[in-house]
Amino acid sequence: MKLGIHAYAWCSEWNNDQLDLIDRAQKLGMDFIELPLMVLDKFDSGAVGNRLKTLGFSACTSTVLLDDTDITSESPDIRVKGVEFLKRCVKATSEIGATNFSGVIYSKHIRQLDGRPTEREYTWSADCLREVADYADGLGVIVGLEPVNRYETFLVNTCEQALMLKEMIGRDNIKIHLDTYHMNIEEKSFYDATLAAGKDLMHYHLCENDRGIPGTGLVDWDNIFKALSEINYTGYAALESFVDCTDNMNTWVWRQLAKDGDTLVSQGTEFIRGMMKKYGL
């Protein structure tokens, strides 16, 4: 299993001023860094790719959809913009030499409906993501669906729903990205959900129930790592916590979750590597 860190452990927005975070992640013993693509206009894929290549370091990317890129919008124009945005994210991922792109890419992040979603929202999402997946396949990029909690999306809250949407899309390079913070709210069992993802699991966010330092809260880490061991998981897994509020997505960081980003990374990494050793990962 490859252990990494999300850049938002240190910053609230990615731009070239943050390039040194790639060096910091490597020096802290990470296997990769997860880079946010929320503000694509400030993401310099050339500069990022050069830094990664110079260091011999790895990265993956993630994003969320917002108002003007919602592929479950009733507006066909907005759905087209959403597909175009996701294709640009895939292109940026490929340009930095990465192969994994994921996130809340199936519907707008933070959107309320008057009732439960219907087949049309799932169909709109699947149709748009099928086009994105075909584009990504040509660039050798895997696309991951990340279930998040009911307060952040109406469409995909559980691994079971992500697998259903994957089947509707019908493309082999559509995979599953699980996140323990959201699983703590929505799943009945960390173990069962992880096993259900199985061979389709491509990324795992290792978050405590309060998004603080892993191992200091309520998440059932033993059953998570037991399941990861049983499926022989060798993919990406990242610590994800947010150091501050940001204006490009909701993070809800109303208090200090760790002394600082380095403390979160060092203590969280120590705990996670201990669990990896315990379960042979």
Q: Determine which one of 146, 152, 186, 208 is catalytic.
A: 146
- Torsion angles phi and psi, residue 167, rounded to 5: -65, -40
Please state which of the ranges 3-12, 104-113, 179-188, 259-268 shows the lowest mean pLDDT. Answer: 259-268
pLDDT for 36-85, tens place per residue? 999 999 999 999 999 999 999 999 999 999 999 999 999 999 999 999 99
* Residue 247 CA, distance from chain mean position: 18
- Residue 242 pLDDT exceeds 60: no
CB contact set of 165 (below 8 Å; sequence gap of 6+): 106, 122, 125, 126, 129, 145, 155, 156
Mean pLDDT over 228-242 rounds to 91
- Asked if residue 192 lies in contact with residue 223, where contact means CB atoms within 8 angstroms, the answer is no
The pLDDT of residue 9 is 81
pLDDT band at residue 211 under the 50/70/90 scheme: confident
pLDDT for 109-122, tens place per residue? 998 888 999 999 99
- Residue 248 pLDDT exceeds 60: no
- Residue 257 pLDDT exceeds 80: no
Residue from 111, 117, 204 nearest 152 by CA:
111
User: In the chain, which residue ranges form alpha helices assigned H by DSSP?
Assistant: 20-27, 45-55, 76-95, 119-138, 159-169, 180-186, 190-197, 221-230, 261-278
CB contact set of 21 (below 8 Å; sequence gap of 6+): 7, 10, 11, 33
The pLDDT of residue 247 is 54
Residue from 40, 127, 119, 112 nearest 76 by CA:
127
> Is 240 a catalytic site residue?
yes
The domain limits of the chain are: 2-278
Which three-class secondary structure state does DSSP give residue 245? coil
User: Which residues, in sequence order, are bridge partners of residue 59?
Assistant: 33
Average pLDDT, the chain: 93
pLDDT for 9-49, tens place per residue? 888 789 999 999 999 999 989 999 999 999 999 999 999 99
- From the CB of residue 208, how many other CB atoms can be counted at a distance below 10 Å? 24
> Is 146 a catalytic site residue?
yes
What's the whole-model pTM score? 0.94
The domain 2-278 belongs to what CATH superfamily? Divalent-metal-dependent TIM barrel enzymes (3.20.20.150)
